[in-house]
Structure 1
Amino acid sequence: MKRKMYWLAVALLVQSGLFAGTAAAEGNCPPGMYPIGGQGVRGCAPIPGAQRGAAAQQAAPPPAAPTTRWGTRWGAIVASAATSDAGAATGRLTKSDALSEAMAKCRRNGATDCKVMAEYSNQCVAWVVPDGGDAKALGGLGEGATPELALQKAQSYCENRAGNGCKVAYSACSLPEIEPI
């Protein structure tokens, strides 16, 4: 009977030691690892793919702060009805710079009635005038993302009963430019 009790006690100790060892192995494994072993052999092994993902997240540098931006560029068209003089400016940093330059060009031959026809930024502009025709013919101004779109819009305003259409008087773009911050 003593012998039976002895083996029963040994069996219980072995059994409880294995279960305790397994539980301890699970609790002792670091993140990204899982317990391995059995029958008294305990250890931790890496979870496939867990280390690569963690290392990649830790190694990725923060995004760099931008050092440039898109800067607005202005253009203007100014014309005199009395003398047909005109002036234009493109690619200026401010609207007032574009208007001042265009106005000065219009007045360089003595025109005193120069008026702003168009002021624009970050796009293209086209000005068409009647090609012959009568005094009631109308030209047009158009803007667009490309010179072709601006010209197409300007031509849509052209009215010339003589049938000659309109010809391009001016076409230019003042597109945004990359500048340092």
Structure 2
Amino acid sequence: MWSQIAYAEGGCPPGSYPIGGQGVQGCAPIPGAGGGQSGSSIPTPPRPTGRWHDAWGAIAHSKSTSVVGTASAETSRRSAERTALKKCAVEGAKDCAVVMAYTNQCFAWVIPNVGGPGAQSGMARAATMELANELAQKECKDGAGDACKPFYSDCAEPTFERF
């Protein structure tokens, strides 16, 4: 019968080297190799050095007044939406509604340079500001057929807490 265990030089397991001489043999762990004799303790995985905290942003808008409220770097979706609604209402709008919330992403809102029939703004969230702007431009319709202009942009970037 064949053994499936492969042994290094002198019959020692990987990560070990032979010690002793003239008929008395043993194996010793190679320093830093992470191996060792069977029966040795299993190395523990490294401990984390910190943790990530999500960041949230939100946009609230009033259709009747065009007032906008924004929130950024909030710790929860609920907090971001509440802050955006409060900022919108402070300007006197009574019909503020959250139009978008985002976490650990960038947000871009672009608006038409020229209004008119078929004109509409564009909003997008993405991993980078460049991509968010690109996606928002694709949704925006300018009355003159031109590129839309930036109205608001922000990145809600997570923070790392070191232990």
What is the TM-score of this pair, normalised by structure 2?
A: 0.75
Contact kept in structure 2, 1:89 and 1:99, CA below 8 Å: yes
Residue in structure 2 matching 1:65, options 27, 31, 47: 47
| CA distance in 1 between partners of 2:47 and 2:20 (Å) | 40
SS at match of 2:30: helix
| CA distance in 2 between partners of 1:155 and 1:136 (Å) | 15
| CA distance in 2 between partners of 1:54 and 1:122 (Å) | 42
Per the TM alignment, residue 172 of structure 1 is displaced from its structure 2 partner at its CA by 0.2
Aligned positions, number = 142
Per the TM alignment, residue 99 of structure 1 is displaced from its structure 2 partner at its CA by 0.6
1:79 and 2:65 correspond: no
- What are the superposed Cα offsets for residues 99-157 of structure 1, whole Å, 9 maximum, x if unpaired? 11111111112101111111010100000111123143011111111111110010010
Compare the two structures and name the one with the higher helix fraction: 1
CA RMSD of aligned residues (A): 2.7
Residue in structure 1 matching 2:76, options 80, 90, 94: 94
Residue in structure 2 matching 1:120, options 78, 83, 102: 102
Q: Taking structure 1 as reference, are residues 71 and 35 closer, same or farther at Cα in structure 2, changes over 3 Å only?
A: same
| CA distance in 1 between partners of 2:162 and 2:85 (Å) | 30
Contact kept in structure 2, 1:133 and 1:164, CA below 8 Å: no
- Rg larger in 1 or in 2? 1
Identity of aligned residues (%): 38
Match of 1:51 in 2: 28
Per the TM alignment, residue 32 of structure 1 is displaced from its structure 2 partner at its CA by 3.2
- What are the superposed Cα offsets for residues 47-80 of structure 1, whole Å, 9 maximum, x if unpaired? xxx535267536x964442242111111100111
Per the TM alignment, residue 177 of structure 1 is displaced from its structure 2 partner at its CA by 1.2
1:157 and 2:139 correspond: yes
- The residue identity in structure 2 corresponding to 1:125 is F
